[in-house]
Structure formats: structure tokens, C-alpha cells
Amino acid sequence: MEAEKQTILVERQQAVHAPKKPFRLSREGLFILLCLMPALLLVTVFTYYPLVKGAVMAFQNYTLFDLTDIHFIGLENFIAVFTSPDFFTVALNSFYWVAFSLVFQFILGFGLALLMRKRFRGRGLYQAMVFFPWAMSGFLIGLIWRWMFNAQFGVINDLLLKVGLIDAPIPFLADGTWALASVIIANIWYGVAFFAIMILAALQSIPGELYEAADMDGASAWQQFRYITVPFIMPTLAVTILLRVIWILNFPDIIISMTNGGPAGSTHIFSTYMIDKVIFAQDYGQSSAIGIVIVLILLVFTVFYAKAMKVDKGADF
């Protein structure tokens, strides 16, 4: 036994003090690396470099009015953003934009998914009509709704006048309160399809045997929904809600095409406010600071949301 222990110790010492062989890629590894190089190059150039560059610009005096005076100014861009008289309005609009859009998209999308789950004549055509808006450009959706909300010849004012709900056309896009409600309505209509697609896919993955067993046990429709449907699709609901919050907050297309942040900045959210700083103020420093603020908001929300879902994962609905 002692001889074996000494042999093992000698082998270990030799392994430790043995010269290390230089790292060399095999032919297969080199081939894989060469195949990945175009993708890695594109991701680096178009994703990581702009991300790092934007983070650096947030701490610089970087305006197109004077490109010769680019220098670091610390947190001045963030101070200018937070002390701006528009910041509170933009933050409140962003909250309304995300909260109302998410709640109604979820409710309507869930309802449509439950309806489309059942077989009926023309279900395929109905599904195509529901899913079609999600395939369209957000900017095009905004232009369509801008025409519909037009105070002079918009179809919405025309319908309201004909049914007698109003006596005069409503300036939906010219009044701040109505304008924000209008862009939210357009965004709700646009995002319902995503929830319907994701939830319908989750519903169709539930084994039918579970509902058959529940029927045999005398479970009501509400009990089946509460104890079978919702727990089974909860992971899909959690991921879908998280994705929609991120996408809605970073979705300026509809607002840009409908109101461009107006009237008087009353429909600006963080993403449109950032674009406004780039196009009109041409202040890349402050716009980058706003971008950092958006990232931090989404990061904090994601962390708390993930913890909340982890805590409630095993709880009863």
C-alpha cells in the first residue's frame, strides 16, 4: 500500500511540473471557428460596439453642433435629463403606455386564444385575421390609426357622430389627453395578436386527458381553468409578459407615426424622447443617457419580476 501511495504521489508531482503543451486548435475546431466568424463579426460590429459606444457617449459632451468639442463631462447628461421639465411627463407617459397596453393586450389576447382553441367553422380564417396585424409594420399601423383618428375625415369620429355619442368631432391627435389614449388604443390593437399566438400555442400543448379526468371528477369549467389551464401555461404567460414589457417600452413606431411625440410633447415616452433628442436637439450625449435609463429600468423590472415569479411558482393560483 505504501509503495502504491508513493507511486501516485510521484505521478502527481510529475504531472504538476510537466511542461504545458501549447494550445492548438484541431482542424474541426478551426473549421467551426471560421464558420462562426461572420456571425461573431456582425454581432460585434452591429450590437456590442454600438452598445459600448452609446454607454461611453452618455458621459460625454457629444453634439453634432460641435464635433470638435467632444469630451467627458461625468454625470452632467444624466443630471440634465432628470432635471428637465419634460422628464416627469415622459416617465408618467411611459408608465401609462406600458401598463394600459400590457393589461388590455393580455386580457384580449387571452380571450381570443380561448375562443380559437375550440373548433368551429372558419377557425383557420379567423386565426389568420387575428394574427395578421402582428405581421405588419408598426409604423404602417400608426399611419392607419392616424387616419382613423383624424378629426376631419377620420372613420372613428364619423361613427361616433352617426350613432349620436358626440355632437362635434373630437380632436383625438390634437389634444394631449386624447392623443395619449389614441396611441395606447392603437398599440393595444397591434399587440393583442402576440398574446393570442403565444397563449394559444400553450393551450394546445395541454393534454386533453387532464380535462377528461377533471370532468369525470365533477370539476366545473372555472375549476378546470383555475387548476389545470392557468398552472400549465403559467411559464408561457410569465415569459410573454416579460417580453411584452420590454418590447412595449422600446416600441416608438406607433407614436412616431401617429403624433411624433406631440402635441407639445404630451405623448413622448422614453424611446421617442430619446429619438427626439437625436433628431431635433442632435445631442447624442443626452440621448445616450436616456438609453442607459431605459436599460436600467428594464433591468430592475426584470430582476424583481423574475424573483416574484420564482416566489409564486409553487403557490396556488
- Under CATH, what is the fold of the domain 77-311? MetI-like fold (1.10.3720)
Sign of CA dihedral 195, 252, 155, 134: negative
- What pLDDT score does 315 carry? 44
Burial of 149 (0-12, 13-18, 19+ CB in 10 A): buried
Q: What are the grid coordinates assigned to 84, written together? A: 428637465
The mean pLDDT value of the chain amounts to 84
**DSSP annotation of 315:** S
Kindly state the average pLDDT of the residues 132-140. 83
> CA 184, CA 178: separation in Å to the nearest integer?
10
Report the candidate in 208, 40, 197, 65 with the shortest Cα–Cα distance to residue 133. Answer: 197
Spacing of C-alpha 196 from chain mean position: 16
pTM for this prediction: 0.82
pLDDT band at 88 (very low <50, low <70, confident <90, very high): very high
∠ Cα 40 42 46 (to 5°): 125
The 10s digit of each residue's pLDDT in 21-32 is 555 667 777 888
Please state the length of the chain.
Answer: 317
What residues contact residue 100 under an 8 Å CB cut-off, 6+ apart? 184, 188
Greater pLDDT, 74 or 95: 95
Percent of the chain with pLDDT over 90: 27
Domain ranges of the chain: 77-311
> CA 15, CA 11: separation in Å to the nearest integer?
6
Percent of the chain with pLDDT over 70: 90
- What pLDDT score does 97 carry? 95
Kindly state the average pLDDT of the residues 312-317. 46
Give the range with max mean pLDDT: 12-16, 117-121, 279-283, 293-297. 293-297
Report the candidate in 122, 239, 261, 242 with the shortest Cα–Cα distance to residue 180. Answer: 261
- What pLDDT score does 235 carry? 87
Sign of CA dihedral 270, 275, 281, 283: positive
Whether 278 shows a pLDDT value over 80: the answer reads yes
Q: Where are the alpha helices (DSSP H) in the chain?
A: 2-17, 27-43, 49-57, 76-82, 87-117, 123-131, 138-148, 155-162, 176-204, 208-216, 221-224, 230-249, 253-258, 270-276, 284-311
Report the candidate in 43, 243, 234 with the shortest Cα–Cα distance to residue 134. Answer: 243
For the chain, the farthest-separated pair of C-alpha atoms sits apart, in whole angstroms, at 104
Whether 222 shows a pLDDT value over 80: the answer reads yes
- What pLDDT score does 101 carry? 94
Whether 316 shows a pLDDT value over 60: the answer reads no
The partner residues of 71 in beta bridges, in order of sequence, read 61
Contact of 89 with 268, CB cutoff 8 Å? yes
Q: Cell numbers 389576447 label which residue? A: 109
> CA 159, CA 137: separation in Å to the nearest integer?
26
